[in-house]
Amino acid sequence: MVSVGGNVEATTYNDLVSRINAILGIGSGKLGYGYQITTPGQAVVGTTDVRGVQWAGLRSDFNVLSEHQINTGTTVGEIVSGNIIGADVSNVGTGSTVLRDNATDTFTVVNPDADKGVNDFTPIITTLEAAATTNTVFSSHLVLESKITPATGGASYTSSWQSLTAEIEVTFAGGYNCRANNGTLVAATGDDHRRHFFNTGGEIRFSTSGANGSGSKSADWATMLTNFGTITFANSATTTTGTATVGAGFGSEDLTTSYQQIAIKFGSDSLYAENSIKVEAKHNNSGVITFKFSWTDADTGDPGTDESVNLDIDLTMSQVRCNGPITSVTPSYAFVGSGIA
């Protein structure tokens, strides 16, 4: 914060630049949106003056971030060339609009705007940072997009089976430019891309269904798959619209290079309670998340002859992606392995 009567130093401005770039740019952890910008940040060095165009650029970045989060810009007034910049106020117009009291050696801004002082930026960036750590995004900036459907090769099984598996890779390629904290332009890595997708409110959703089966075991499988619900995999949580057991506090940021269970549902009838649909996920630290789906018919008869499963199985995947003031780059989806027994 700048004290009234003190100087507005470049370090004060640069601190604000660094903090906004940590959210809009590459960032780290929960911070970093991957906002694609073609110009470097507005940081200044040495004794270089901070000019009106730089304050305007900083305010513009604040507004983009605020609009992403709450669909409205900030309350900071626009600073233009010719303004007298103060700690708590700046003048509305241009020219000689500062009066000096020689007796007390103090200055008064004539025609002040209380929303465009340097100190107005600090509480706003603090609020924006807090919202960013919870992946806050205004709902209308998110779009739902279909990625894997039963018509996709490998997403539908139409023969009798005892166990099925499918692995799908979601690849975040990176390669786009965004700002480092100091304002320089850098290319996002694949893992940066993954963070940016989820930090901006991205989600991966999937569901599975069964049809055209006959017999009590296939009927129980159909019920189980319906109750599995649609699973939503987000940055720090997994949820379901059904009754599957999910990792409520587990999301993309918790993945390791080994498979971890994120959702499971067992048979509905006590005779078939051993049967399950399970989903696991891992990442390779280079921008690839692999989801493994396992449909396992572990029931062997209670008692007597085991029944076959002749239910057709479908898999569907979609994503929620940010497409507002900040647009998240879509990843690609591909089958990399499947099995049937």
Asked if 254 and 280 touch (Cβ cutoff 8 Å), the reply is: no
Task: Return d(Cα 86, Cα 92) in angstroms, integer.
Answer: 11
Residue 150 confidence class, pLDDT cut points 50, 70, 90: confident
Beta carbons within 10 angstroms of residue 25's beta carbon? 30
Q: Is pLDDT of 95 > 60?
A: no
Pairing of strands 332-340, 163-171: antiparallel
Residue 78 confidence (pLDDT) above 90: no
Question: Could you tell me the pTM of the whole model?
Answer: 0.87
- For residue 306, the 8-state DSSP code is P
Average pLDDT, the chain: 85
3-48 pLDDT, tens digit each: 666 667 778 888 898 999 999 999 999 999 999 775 556 666 666 6
pLDDT in tens, 296-330: 988 776 666 677 788 888 899 999 999 999 999 99
Contact 24, 66 (CB under 8 A): no
Place of tokens 């459907």: 149
Residue 275 near residue 292, CB atoms below 8 Å: no
**Pick the residue with more confidence: 114 or 322?**
322
CB neighbours of residue 170 within 10 Å: 25
Q: Which amino acid is at 102?
A: N
- Overall average pLDDT of the 135-148 stretch: 95
CA 202 to chain centre: 4
Q: Are 179 and 185 in contact (CB under 8 A)?
A: yes
| Pair of tokens at residue 127 | 């609020």
The least confident of 69-83, 202-216, 240-254 is 69-83
Give ∠ CA 61-182-125 in degrees, rounded to 5. Answer: 40
Answer whether 112's CB lies under 8 Å from 90's CB.
Answer: yes
- In the chain, what are the domain boundaries? 10-133, 139-340
Structure tokens at 286: 């280079």
**C-alpha–C-alpha distance, residues 7 and 131, integer Å:** 30
Which of the pair, 108 or 133, is modelled with greater confidence? 133
**pLDDT in the model for residue 161:** 73
